Every structure is written in structure tokens, then in C-alpha cells.
């Protein structure tokens, strides 16, 4: 036989029982060639280009999912950062663009369109000002549009003015979606070192260095990793690293196979596979449960950072062997509301905001999908973002912050976002703020790369 029984049954078990799936097929599209003489013309061209490229997406992904018996959970589109299209004089028409994109997404069965983004790590151009100002309206009035702001990079330093402003944008977006626990903020990420080929939302955009279009793929698989670890309760941590590496290889190969085939069928280039382990609110599909399967009593307890470091590194090693083109965020996601185990750990008080921050220094994303009290002052939100961004900039890694102040609710109460966004207990925020510090504003210079600490 071409494959032995054990191999075939292992694959089936991963797919049927352990929630292995392709989390997202994301088509990146450059829209910078869509500028027209007037903004309405630009909007028309943007819509036409997206329509032209993504019309076959639904049919192709369904066909391929059927062929291999693997679910493809999300179909998404990532656009060039929309701020690059703007002169700053478009006014309310930017919101109109978002509405039209939202409708188009619905029509073409695209789950999310990312790219309402601005790259302001060194400063704001007029288009960036307009985009950032429009975010609260865009995120509260549309369902499927995601935005992001890159506020820092290891080469350019940290734009504290941008961070300061994003605290306000986040508060305003939450208040505009107060009836849904501030869900607008679930579609907004503040980045340091944002990747240009990230297929995952809310932070996906099609970077200026990318080709005209590309297919990028994100796989899932915390359930598979957890089951494999559970089967080896007495393995040493060195052995565990090897076991995780092997699983990561298999998971990534699935992503690569699907990505290449989708790209070929759609007639556009294949970009990258993102190796990230992406959890869902479903029990058994959780990164927290992976950490607990390794032996940490509760995610957030002592040992969690070490366990996450081992997990992330082993995933990268296995994944890098499996695919020639790895990109995006590529690590283990630890989004609180989207991961049933993380959410439970917060409820129990095992996982605190400070520990989450520590864990992000060894994983890939950042402070992700964390519900905070609705009355957290905007400067305090900015200071939290600043702390997280410092970790990214100094360590030359990507970090993103997706905080959700839940209007009218306090720490310990529950926030509900629904679907893949999940639900979670609102986390306690250290009341000693850094407002005066962050209000100084300005830019923090890029860190030195020699004299490493």
C-alpha cells in the first residue's frame, strides 16, 4: 500500500476528532493601481479588481476542501493599506468605501476583508490621519471590515503619538458598538513590526512589497498538538519538542498543499503558509489546553511562559521544514476570548494581564482579544499598548494588541462576542496608570542592535 494503515488513520483522526482544518485562505490584493481621478472612480476600480480576482474563490475552496476532506473555515481578502490610497481630502467617502467593501464581501461569501490599515511607525501622512479618524465609524458600521495600525518597528522606533491616538480610537469604537460588548474593537489591531503577508484577521493587509496578488494560508491545529502531547505523559521536554515538531510538520504540509492548489486553480501566485497554531472557542481546540497538557496546572500559572516558548519554537522548526515559504505571524496564538482554555483561565484568576504580556514575549502575536473594563481610561489603554509594543520592538518580533474595553461592564463580568470571536471574563487591569508618561508623546528612537542584553 502507498501509505500504511497507521498513517491513514492518523490523518483521519486529526481531521475528524482533533479539529485539524485550514483556518483561512486569504487572497492578498494590491489596490494601489486603482487610484482614479476622483475618489468615487477609485472605489469603483477597487471593487472591480477585488471582484475580478476573488469571484472563483468560493467555488475553488469548496472543491479543494471536498477533494481532501479537510474543512477550509474562512475565505478572506487582504488589501493594500487603504491609507496609501488616500490624500486626506476624501472625508466621509472613506466610510462609504468601507460600506461598499462590506457589501461586496457578503455578496462573494468572503468572511473578512482586511486592510483598513495605516503604516505610521514613523509618522502620519494626511491619508493616515483620515484613515485612523474613520476607524470608529468604519468598524461600528460594517461587519466584515478589519483595520490595523502599525505604530512601531524595530528599524524606525515607536510612534508614541500613534499609540496615544489609538487608545482613543479603541475607546470610541467600543462605545459605538456598546450594545454588542464593544465588538468593533475585535476588528482592530495595533501592531509593531506588522508582517506584510499575514493571512489572519484582524491584522491582515497586503503589504506594499508584495506582488499584485497572492494566496496566503493559515492552518489550525492546537487540538492535534494537544492530543499528541497527551499520548506521551512521561516524555521529557526534549522529547516533547521533537513530538511537537513532527506534528507541526504534518499540519503545515496540509496548509502548503491546499495553498498551492488554490493558487494554481485561481491563476495567482502562492505566497506563504502561516505556521501559527490558531485556536477556536471550541473545547479541544485551545492553545491553553496544549500548555496544560504539557503539565502546567492552569494556563497563566508558573511555567506557562516556558511551555509556550517550547511550543512556539518547535512549531516553527517543524513548519519551516514543511514549507519553503513561511510567513505571516507564525507562532502560537493566545487570544483570550477565542480560546476556551484561556478564557477559563482568566475566569479562574490563573491568567492575568501581566502574565499574558510576559507570554507574548515568546509567542507571536501579542495581547489578543482581551476584554478589559469599559471604564479603562484611554491613556491607560495606550500605556498597555506601549508596554506590549516595547516587547516587539526591542526583541525584533511582531506583536499586535487587540484590546476590547467592554462598555458598562467591570472586571469579572462576562463579555460575549459570538462565533469564532468567542466570549470571556473581563480581565482586571492594574489601576496604576502611565498616562502622564505616555502623554509626553513623540517618537522613541529605534533600539540599538549591538550590546544585546
Judged by CB, which is closer to another protein: 253, or 443?
A: 253
The interface with another protein within residues 203-232 (CB under 8 A) comprises none
Q: Which three cell numbers stand for residue 182?
A: 464593544
Q: What is the smallest separation between the CB atom of 3 and another protein, expressed in angstroms?
A: 5
Using the rule CB under 8 A, is 11 a contact of another protein?
yes
Minimum Å gap between C-beta 64 and another protein is: 9
- Kindly tell me which of 68 and 325 has the beta carbon lying closer to another protein: 68
**Minimum distance between the CB of residue 47 and another protein, rounded to whole angstroms?**
31
* 158 C-beta neighbours (distance < 10 Å), count: 26
Smallest gap from Cβ 250 to another protein, in A, equals 4
Which of 169, 190, 192, 257 is the binder for another protein (CB under 8 A)? 257
Give the C-alpha separation, 116 to 147, whole Å: 4
Number of residues that bind another protein (CB under 8 A): 21
Angle, nearest 10°, between helix axes 287-294 and 222-230?
A: 10
Residue 9 interacts with another protein (CB under 8 A)? Answer: yes
State the distance between the two ends of the chain, measured CA to CA, in whole angstroms.
Answer: 54
* 11 versus 141: smaller Cβ distance to another protein: 11
Site string for another protein, 233-252 (x = CB under 8 A): -----------------x--
172, 227, 256, 339: residue in contact with another protein (rule CB under 8 A): 256
Alpha-carbon distance of 29 to 15, in angstroms, equals: 30
CA distances from 342 to 51, 336, 438 (A): 38, 5, 29
Which residue, 12 or 48, has its beta carbon nearer to another protein? 12
For another protein, the closer of residues 69 and 442 by Cβ is 69
Map residue 128 onto helix, strand or coil.
helix
- In the bound state with another protein, the residue whose beta carbon lies nearer, of 67 and 439, is 67
* From 3-11, 151-159, 186-194, 328-336, span contacting another protein (CB under 8 A): 3-11
Considering only the stretches 91-99, 254-262, 266-274, 382-390, report the one whose residues sit in contact with another protein under the rule CB under 8 A: 254-262
The minimum distance between CB 8 and another protein, in angstroms, equals 5
Say if residues 433 and 379 touch (Cβ distance below 8 Å): yes
C-alpha to C-alpha distance for 239 and 237, rounded to whole angstroms: 5
What DSSP line would sit under 10-30, residue for residue? HHHHHHHTS---EEEEEEEE-
How far apart (Å, rounded) are the C-alpha atoms in residues 291 and 229? 10
The CA-atom distances, in angstroms, between 110 and each of 106, 138, 144, 263, 436 are 6, 17, 8, 16, 43
Could you say whether residue 3 binds another protein (CB under 8 A)?
Answer: yes
Q: For residues 7 and 58, which CB has a smaller minimum distance to another protein in the complex?
A: 7
Stretch that binds another protein, among 11-19, 139-147, 328-336, 434-442 (CB under 8 A): 11-19
**Shortest approach of another protein to residue 199 CB, angstroms?**
19
Q: What is the dihedral of CA 122, 126, 132, 134, to 10 degrees?
A: -170
8 binds another protein (CB under 8 A): yes
How is residue 101 written as a grid cell?
467593501
Q: What residues from 56 to 115 belong to the interface with another protein (CB under 8 A)? A: 63, 66-70
HEC string for 357-389: HHHHCCCCCEEEEEEEECCCCHHHHHHHHHHHH
Site for another protein in 368-427 (CB under 8 A): none
DSSP 275-311: --B---SSTT--HHHHHHHHT-SSTTSTTHHHHHHHH
Burial environment of residue 427 by CB neighbours within 10 A (0 to 12, 13 to 18, 19 or more): buried
Distances (CA, A) of 243 to 220, 226, 247, 255, 285: 17, 11, 6, 19, 18
Of the candidate spans 10-18, 100-108, 298-306, 353-361, the one that interacts with another protein by CB under 8 A turns out to be: 10-18
Smallest gap from residue 231 Cβ to another protein (A): 17
Q: How far is the CB of 260 from another protein (least distance, A)?
A: 10
Only segment of 4-12, 128-136, 293-301, 366-374 that touches another protein (CB under 8 A)? 4-12
For the bound state, the minimum distance from the C-beta of residue 247 to another protein, rounded and expressed in Å, comes to 10
- Whole-angstrom CA distances from 305 to 334, 370, 397 are 11, 18, 16
Interface with another protein by CB under 8 A: which residues? 1-3, 5, 7-9, 11-12, 16, 63, 66-70, 250, 253-254, 256-257
Amino acid at each position: 500500500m502507498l501509505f500504511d494503515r497507521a498513517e491513514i488513520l492518523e490523518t483521519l483522526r486529526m481531521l475528524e476528532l482533533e479539529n485539524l482544518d485550514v483556518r483561512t485562505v486569504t487572497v492578498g490584493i494590491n489596490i494601489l493601481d486603482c487610484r482614479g481621478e476622483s475618489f468615487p472612480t477609485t472605489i469603483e476600480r477597487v471593487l472591480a479588481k477585488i471582484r475580478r480576482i476573488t469571484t472563483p474563490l468560493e467555488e475553488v475552496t469548496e472543491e479543494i476542501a471536498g477533494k481532501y476532506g479537510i474543512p477550509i473555515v474562512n475565505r478572506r481578502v487582504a488589501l493594500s493599506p487603504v491609507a496609501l490610497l488616500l490624500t486626506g481630502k476624501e472625508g466621509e467617502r472613506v466610510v462609504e468605501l468601507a460600506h461598499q467593501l462590506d457589501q461586496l464581501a457578503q455578496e462573494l461569501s468572503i468572511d473578512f476583508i482586511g486592510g483598513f490599515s495605516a503604516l505610521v511607525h514613523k509618522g502620519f501622512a494626511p491619508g493616515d490621519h483620515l484613515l485612523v479618524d474613520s476607524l470608529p465609524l468604519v468598524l461600528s458600521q460594517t461587519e466584515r471590515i478589519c483595520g490595523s495600525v502599525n505604530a512601531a518597528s524595530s528599524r524606525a522606533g515607536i510612534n508614541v503619538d500613534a499609540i496615544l491616538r489609538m487608545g482613543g480610537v479603541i475607546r470610541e469604537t467600543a462605545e459605538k458598538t456598546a450594545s454588542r460588548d464593544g465588538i468593533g474593537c475585535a476588528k482592530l489591531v495595533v501592531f509593531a513590526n506588522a508582517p506584510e503577508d499575514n493571512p489572519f484577521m484582524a491584522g491582515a493587509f497586503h503589504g506594499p512589497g508584495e506582488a499584485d496578488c497572492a494566496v496566503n494560508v493559515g492552518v489550525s491545529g492546537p487540538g492535534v498538538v494537544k492530543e499528541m502531547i497527551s499520548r506521551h505523559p512521561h516524555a521529557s521536554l526534549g522529547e516533547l519538542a521533537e513530538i511537537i515538531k513532527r506534528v507541526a510538520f504534518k499540519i503545515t504540509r496540509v496548509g502548503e498543499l491546499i495553498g498551492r492548489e488554490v493558487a494554481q486553480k485561481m491563476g495567482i501566485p502562492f505566497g506563504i503558509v502561516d505556521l501559527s497554531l490558531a485556536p477556536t472557542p471550541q473545547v479541544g481546540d485551545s492553545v491553553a489546553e496544549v500548555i496544560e497538557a504539557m503539565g502546567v496546572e492552569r494556563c497563566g500559572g508558573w511555567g506557562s511562559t516556558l511551555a509556550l516558548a517550547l511550543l512556539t519554537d518547535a512549531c516553527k522548526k517543524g513548519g519551516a521544514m514543511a514549507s519553503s515559504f513561511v510567513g505571516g505571524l507564525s507562532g502560537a496564538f493566545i487570544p483570550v476570548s477565542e480560546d476556551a482554555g484561556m478564557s477559563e483561565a482568566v475566569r479562574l484568576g490563573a491568567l492575568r494581564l501581566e502574565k499574558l504580556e510576559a507570554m507574548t514575549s515568546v509567542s507571536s502575536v501579542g495581547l489578543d482579544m482581551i476584554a478589559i473594563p469599559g471604564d479603562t481610561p484611554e491613556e491607560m489603554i495606550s500605556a498597555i499598548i506601549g508596554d506590549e509594543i516595547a516587547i516587539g520592538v526591542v526583541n525584533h518580533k511582531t506583536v499586535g494588541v487587540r484590546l476590547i474595553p467592554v462598555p458598562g461592564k467591570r472586571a469579572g463580568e462576562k463579555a460575549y462576542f459570538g462565533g469564532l470571536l468567542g466570549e470571556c471574563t473581563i480581565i482586571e487591569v492594574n489601576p496604576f496608570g502611565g498616562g502622564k508618561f505616555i502623554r509626553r508623546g513623540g517618537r522613541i528612537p529605534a533600539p540599538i542592535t549591538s550590546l544585546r542584553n
